[in-house]
Amino acid sequence: MPYGAASAVRRARVAVSRDRSGSTPTTLNVDAPSAAPASRAGIQSSGRFTLDGVGFDTPAGTLAGQGLGGTGRFNLDTTDGPARIDLDASVSGGELLLGPLYAKLPDHAVQLGLRASAQAGAFELSRLRINDADALQLDGALAFDAKGDLKTLKLDRLHASFPAAYDRYGRAWLNTMGLQDMRMAGQLNGSLDLRSDGPRSFAFSTDRLDMADAAGRLAVENLHGGLDWSSQGDRPATTLGWHSLQFYRVANGAARQVVCVSAPVAAVVAVGHGRSSIMARPPRRRGISRRLDRLFT
């Protein structure tokens, strides 16, 4: 890149896309007074930026945005190893896609922080922070290989408040699972470690969560307690209860369940009231065991 081109990064106003009518340009304003001269080794730059209706997309389609507005700061370094960028911004309006995470952003400011690196087509967000005050707060990381396939999705902290979290962040993901037009209320705390070969760990807890899909595949009233699972070994027992639970229109009454899990449990449906204990021990050669102790009330 010629020095003149690098210098232009210092102060730039660039039309990067147009609205759907194709008539109104949208802009990305960059003020980077610390931009360093370019060399064959790359460039270094830092400064502030402003977004006004900006859209972008990556060749693999794993990262995209449309109609974004906001302001923030960035640090860019392509001089040694993978290209790296640190970004802290307040964004509002429009849509944002970060791999499996899709957001329909509200009109108020959402805090977004990330540290990204890219090399040979592979892409990693080693730091991802989203703070939408009345809907979602999360800290995590994600990575894709050169083909655009997900390698890692790690959510170290997640707090979701419904229905706002569903409307802005959860609707598209749940639609892919066949759960459409969900009605949700309550709050959820959770964590997740998902790799290309499957989950490594997950956990969630809630004081109360109500949800139901329009087709009647799933409905739960007053879900409370939590679940904690890891592929690396046993986790402490957790208690999970509900006032009413329905899978595919098969109703289950009120229950409280104490769960010790060392392998994923797809679904357990029990009908009726009373006390019961369920023991399941898969073959030892697979190194998997699990126990469900249930108390129905």
- Tell me the domain boundaries of the chain: 1-176, 208-297
The per-residue b/e assignment along 42-80, b for 16 or more CB within 10 angstroms, e otherwise, is bbbbbbebbbbbbbeeeebebbebbbbbbebebbbbbee
CA-to-CA distance for 118 and 81, rounded, in angstroms?
9
Is 177's pLDDT higher than 90?
A: no
Is 81's pLDDT higher than 90?
A: no
Q: Which residue has the tokens 């990381």?
A: 141
| pLDDT given at position 254 | 61
CA-to-CA distance for 144 and 138, rounded, in angstroms?
19
> Hey, what are 117's tokens?
């690196």
> Hey, what are 75's tokens?
């640090």
Q: Is 82 helix (H, G, I), strand (E, B) or coil?
A: coil
Is 205's pLDDT higher than 80?
A: yes
Read off the pLDDT of residues 222-260 as tens digits, 9 standing for 90 and up: 999 999 999 888 888 888 888 888 877 665 556 555 544
> Hey, what are 262's tokens?
């060392």
Is 43's pLDDT higher than 90?
A: no
CA-to-CA distance for 139 and 155, rounded, in angstroms?
6
CA-to-CA distance for 136 and 64, rounded, in angstroms?
20
**pLDDT, average across residues 56-61:** 81
- Considering the chain, what percentage of its residues have pLDDT values greater than 70? 70
Tell me which of 51-55, 157-161, 206-210, 287-291 is least confident. 287-291
- The confidence band for 181, taking pLDDT boundaries of 50, 70 and 90, is very high
The answer to whether residues 69 and 49 touch, using CB atoms and an 8 Å cutoff, is no
Tell me which of 73-77, 84-88, 100-104, 246-250 is least confident. 246-250
Tell me which of 65-74, 118-127, 179-188 is least confident. 118-127
Q: What is the chain's length?
A: 297
